[in-house]
């Protein structure tokens, strides 16, 4: 049979936008099932896949034993081929551009060798066939199960399968997680046996809450292929519609509570820098997984600089990967700022030529080529200057936590998120929604999120925050959800216009809220060093005399 010259074309007969395939001598619509002859001459040459040279040539034919039609095999690019004189089936693995990169062969003895470039394919078998998003998608354990479900649904609705059976479930789901999350329902239809049940248990918690549904073949059948072979395609549809939503067990009482309390592990605290003594004391030891902290101040007070100091600190004092989501600046600025902090030179301001030196290159490699034991980057930057699509932030965080091993997230800042997320123009509702979802993610994924937020303009004619006024929880801009849902709220204040440059460069960190300890009040004084660009421990600016420090302005300015 001939290979399709074009796929996903519109059908004039039924109006489908993408179900028509065009062959050398006819067209076939997978929606209305209509075949239309054309003027071409049918070419019976075997299908020659485009890809690595060791891929097998083959032809499309129905699989009688499996009750799979030629149309289904053609739709899935599933061919019959010859391997050293043995007739084999070949599940072809395609990229989004329809290039075949690998073939998984099925020999009569049920061995399954690969040819082509297996490593070039990431995700789930059949993923290239379907658009992003939709009502639901079914995931089966094997390729023939996917073809069986697809045929039962007239090859119209999304279904994919694991690549290497139940043992590959976790890896495949992680690789396709971002794409799977675009669907409203994700139905796991694995084999009804012990390995299949273990695979479901391994991946059900990886999927977004509320989206995972589970179904099994009925008693006497192992999988969808068994049902199709028995002529029970309608039962396949019943299984899909009868899928049960996965809901984690969450009600605990009585002896279980006592057992949990007895066996509870101490929650790990990651200390702030050692000389931030009062900050470490007030927070009970530092930051913790499962918590959401908010850092706030007036405009231009150094919030981002202090956050980058903490990013550098936790890079060197913990083994945990960090995601740096700075929406207020280009990725390149974030990278240069961290390098500058690492080397202790503000080259971005005073010496741009430093970027051409070996010292710059070594620092960049030290920070951004560092990986964990699984090969994930220790520092992961997000390239979305000034914008995030509605709701995509949560998918990004979930993907980085699950697939990239990130445990510490820094998000700068809340105001940009509010401007990009549609909640009918109601800023308070937007902020409540963001805080609620971020808090859920910290608990669900066992991660830490440090969030930067702005302050509202202080009432009256008193001192502004930029003149050293200390903020309160009620000064947080936008919504009570910020103070209610956060674990900690930390305010930064300083008098930017103080005549004493040492005082003008010294910030007071105040703990406005700490759910863990309840210890609020003034914490530490942090001084910004203009020559190194680093944040060091300082003293109370109120104790500084004007002549304590000389003017730091270089003489040639």
Contact criterion met (CB below 8 Å) for 90 and 78? yes
Tell me if 492 is assigned to some domain: yes
Give the range of the structural domain holding residue 1, as residue numbers without chain letter. Answer: 1-45
**Whether residue 389 has pLDDT greater than 60:** no
pLDDT band at 49 (very low <50, low <70, confident <90, very high): low
pLDDT of residue 555: 47
pLDDT of residue 300: 78
Contact criterion met (CB below 8 Å) for 381 and 335? yes
What's the mean pLDDT in 177-188?
96
Per cent of the chain over pLDDT 70 is: 84
Tell me if 22 is assigned to some domain: yes
Question: Hey, what are 484's tokens?
Answer: 């209610």
pLDDT of residue 546: 61
Instruction: Report the alpha-carbon angle 300-508-419, nearest 5.
Output: 35
Q: What is the CATH number of the domain that holds 25?
A: 2.20.25.10
Higher pLDDT residue, 363 or 47? Answer: 363
Tell me if 262 is assigned to some domain: no
Average predicted confidence (pLDDT) for the chain: 86
Tell me if 4 is assigned to some domain: yes
Contact criterion met (CB below 8 Å) for 105 and 89? yes
Transcribe 323-362 into DSSP letters: EEEETTS-HHHHHHHHHHHHHT--HHHH-GGGGGSHHHHH
Q: What is the CATH number of the domain that holds 498?
A: 3.40.50.300
Q: Report how far residue 236's alpha carbon sits from residue 189's, in angstroms, rounded to the nearest whole number.
A: 10
pLDDT band at 44 (very low <50, low <70, confident <90, very high): very low
Of 439, 505, 509, nearest in space to 471 by CA:
509
pLDDT of residue 364: 96
pLDDT of residue 45: 46
pLDDT of residue 350: 84
pLDDT band at 17 (very low <50, low <70, confident <90, very high): low
- How distant is the alpha carbon of residue 471 from its chain centre? 34
Tell me if 542 is assigned to some domain: yes
Q: Report how far residue 90's alpha carbon sits from residue 115's, in angstroms, rounded to the nearest whole number.
A: 10
Tell me if 137 is assigned to some domain: no
Q: Report how far residue 4's alpha carbon sits from residue 21's, in angstroms, rounded to the nearest whole number.
A: 6
Q: At what angle do helices 392-403 and 427-445 cross, to 10 degrees?
A: 10
Lowest-pLDDT choice from 46-55, 195-204, 346-355:
46-55
Task: Give the model confidence (pLDDT) of 450-488 as tens digits.
Answer: 998 877 666 666 667 667 677 888 877 666 778 889 999
Tell me if 131 is assigned to some domain: no
Instruction: Sheet with 35-37: list strands edge to edge.
Output: 6-9, 20-22, 26-29, 35-37
pLDDT of residue 26: 78
Q: Report how far residue 188's alpha carbon sits from residue 191's, in angstroms, rounded to the nearest whole number.
A: 10
What's the mean pLDDT in 515-534?
94
Tell me if 56 is assigned to some domain: no
Domain total in the chain = 2
Question: Hey, what are 366's tokens?
Answer: 């030290």
Task: Give the model confidence (pLDDT) of 248-288 as tens digits.
Answer: 766 566 777 788 777 766 678 999 999 999 999 999 999 99
pLDDT of residue 475: 79
pLDDT of residue 354: 94
């Amino acid at each position: 049979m001939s290979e399709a010259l074009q796929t996903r074309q519109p059908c004039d007969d039924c109006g489908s936008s993408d179900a028509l395939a065009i062959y050398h001598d006819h067209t076939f619509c997978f929606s209305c099932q209509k075949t239309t002859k054309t003027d071409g001459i049918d070419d019976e040459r075997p299908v020659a896949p485009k890809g690595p040279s060791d891929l097998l040539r083959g032809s499309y034919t129905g699989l009688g034993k499996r009750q799979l039609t030629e149309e289904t095999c053609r739709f899935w690019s599933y061919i019959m081929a010859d391997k050293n004189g043995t007739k084999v089936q070949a599940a072809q693995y395609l990229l989004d551009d329809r290039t075949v990169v690998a073939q998984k062969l099925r020999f009569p003895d049920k061995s399954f060798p690969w040819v082509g470039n297996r490593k070039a394919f990431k995700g789930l078998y059949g993923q290239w066939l379907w658009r992003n998003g939709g009502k639901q998608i079914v995931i089966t354990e094997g390729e023939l199960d996917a073809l069986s479900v697809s045929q039962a649904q007239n090859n119209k609705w999304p279904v994919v399968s694991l690549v290497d059976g139940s043992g590959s479930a976790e890896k495949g789901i992680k690789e396709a997680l971002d794409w799977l999350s675009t669907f409203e329902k994700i139905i796991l239809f694995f084999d009804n046996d012990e390995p299949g049940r273990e695979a479901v248990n391994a991946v059900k918690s990886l999927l977004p809450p509320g989206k995972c549904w589970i179904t099994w073949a009925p008693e006497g059948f192992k999988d969808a292929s068994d049902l199709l072979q028995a002529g029970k395609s309608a039962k396949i549809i019943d299984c899909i519609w009868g899928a049960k939503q996965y809901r984690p067990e969450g009600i605990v009482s009585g002896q279980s509570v006592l057992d949990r309390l007895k066996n509870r592990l101490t929650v790990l605290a990651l200390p702030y820098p050692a000389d931030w003594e009062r900050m470490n004391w007030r927070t009970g030891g530092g930051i913790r997984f499962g918590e959401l902290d908010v850092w706030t101040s007036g405009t231009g007070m150094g919030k981002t600089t202090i956050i980058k100091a903490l990013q550098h600190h936790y890079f060197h004092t913990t083994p945990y990967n960090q995601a740096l989501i700075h929406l207020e600046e280009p990725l390149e600025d974030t990278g240069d700022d961290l390098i500058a902090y690492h080397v202790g030179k503000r080259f971005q301001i005073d010496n741009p030529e430093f970027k051409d030196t070996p010292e710059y290159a070594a620092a960049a490699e030290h920070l951004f080529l560092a990986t964990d034991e699984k090969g994930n980057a220790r520092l992961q930057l997000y390239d979305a200057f000034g914008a995030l699509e509605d709701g995509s932030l949560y998918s990004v965080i979930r993907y980085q936590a699950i697939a990239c091993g990130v445990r510490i997230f820094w998000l700068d800042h809340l105001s940009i998120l509010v401007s990009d997320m549609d909640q009918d123009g109601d800023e308070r509702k937007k902020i409540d929604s963001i805080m609620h979802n971020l808090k859920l993610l910290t608990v669900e994924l066992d991660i830490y999120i440090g969030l930067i937020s702005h302050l509202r303009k202080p009432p009256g004619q008193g001192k502004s925050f930029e003149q050293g006024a200390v903020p309160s929880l009620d000064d947080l801009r936008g919504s009570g959800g910020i103070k209610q849902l956060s674990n900690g709220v930390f305010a930064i204040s300083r008098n930017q216009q103080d005549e004493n440059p040492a005082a003008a460069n010294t910030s007071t960190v105040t703990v406005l809220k700490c759910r863990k300890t309840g210890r609020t009040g003034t914490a530490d004084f942090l001084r910004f060093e203009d020559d190194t660009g680093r944040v060091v421990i300082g003293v109370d600016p109120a104790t500084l005399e004007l002549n304590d420090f000389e003017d730091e302005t270089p003489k040639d300015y």
